[in-house]
Structure 1
Amino acid sequence: MKPVAEMSALELSAWVCDALYRQGIEVVLSGGACVMIYAENKYMSYDIDLIDCYITPRKKLRSVMESLGFSEHHRYFVHNESPYLIEFPAGPLGIGDENITDVYAIDTPLGQLRLLSPTDCVKDRLAAFYHWGDLQSLEQALLVAMAKEIDLENVHYWSAREGCSEQYIQFTNELKRRQQ
């Protein structure tokens, strides 16, 4: 196995995700680390958010993470050989009022990583822009949309249900401008 100190965010996430899955704990990568993977490192994040799809007792999560060499510090798990912090936001897996049922998987030599689809990753970042005015999240959504094929009709429909049609137009106008 590759040393933890040499693992990329993708590799570390896959290794942890796979180890948890083997113990019956289902997690899905979201947030900035998901953006980093899809945007091919044009955005950097050292926070790995693995959404706990079910309500896993913290004691069980802690046991698996400790077996991998992590220790718990407040809400994060840290490994002394890695710059990445791992957090387990509670499920259910969703973006705004929409539950997520389809997830992507990336197979790596260190295990399988389950993560939001590129379209859902864009919606996840747009949710922070829509509801909190977070311009960094808008930038992240644009980076993913520029790097991967996304379903803009799906994003448009979701945006309307979130009551954010005007912000969606801002997003698509900026996307079109950058694609020219």
Structure 2
Amino acid sequence: MKIKDMDITSLAAYICNHLDSKGIKVVLSGGAVVSIYSMNKYQSYDLDFIENISSSRKEIIKAMNEIGFSEQNKYFTHPDTEYFIEFPSGPLAIGREPISEINTIVTPVGNLKIISPTDCVKDRLAGYFYWNDQQSLKQAIMVYKDSNVNLQEVEKWADREEKLTEYKTIDWNK
């Protein structure tokens, strides 16, 4: 499959698989995860990969160049796709809590390591709790409606983040 024909899940899996073959261990997080878990009700063009094991920027640049991506400021772009790739600094965490559950989505072009739907909701709620980002709240609700999310775990996380009062105001049926 050519890059120009890949949807967000396939492209993310292709990149994840290629980086893994080079010893670079990454996990997809951020808005692209919302796109995947909400069945594209929310569309992100930014694929954020967080490294599980730190690699040098030179290693990442070399690996991305091998599959046709070039570095433009902090992003990687490819002439055949509108998606852009970023490698935000780790660790892989939401608020003060490290992420321990990594899901794998198997595709024809490789395996995608991705945060769980529950952690995706926590990630979006962090944006809502800490920056009052209403769009992040809408995204959390989208993922909840379209994926298997453990709201009890989300509530416990909100309590640990000292955001339980804010959490209890959320209408998950919006």
Between the two proteins, the alignment pairs up a number of residues equal to 174
Indicate the residue corresponding to 1:107 in structure 2: 106
Indicate the residue corresponding to 1:42 in structure 2: 41
Deviations 1:41-94 (A, max 9, x none): 100000000111222100000000000000000110000100001000112111
CA distance in 2, matches of 1:153, 1:140: 18
Let me know the Cα RMSD of the aligned residues: 0.8
Structure 1, unaligned runs of 5 or more: none
**Which amino acid is the alignment partner of residue 19 of structure 2?**
L
**Which amino acid is the alignment partner of residue 121 of structure 1?**
C
What SS does the aligned partner of 1:170 have?
Answer: coil
What SS does the aligned partner of 1:122 have?
Answer: helix
| Structure with the higher helix share, 1 or 2 | 1
Superposed, 1:83-102 pairs within 5 Å as: 83-102=82-101
Deviations 1:24-55 (A, max 9, x none): 11110111100000000100000000111222
Q: TM-score, normalised by structure 1?
A: 0.94
Indicate the residue corresponding to 1:27 in structure 2: 26
Asked if structure 2 preserves the Cα contact closer than 8 Å seen for 1:55 and 1:90, the reply is no
Superposed, 1:160-175 pairs within 5 Å as: 160-171=159-170, 174-175=171-172
1:129 maps onto 2:102 in alignment: no
Asked if structure 2 preserves the Cα contact closer than 8 Å seen for 1:72 and 1:78, the reply is yes
Indicate the residue corresponding to 1:68 in structure 2: 67
Kindly report structure 1 stretches of 4+ aligned residues shifted beyond 6 Å. none
Residue 170 of structure 1, CA deviation? 2.0
CA distance in 1, matches of 2:131, 2:52: 24
CA distance in 1, matches of 2:5, 2:166: 40
Q: TM-score, normalised by structure 2?
A: 0.98
**Which amino acid is the alignment partner of residue 154 of structure 2?**
V
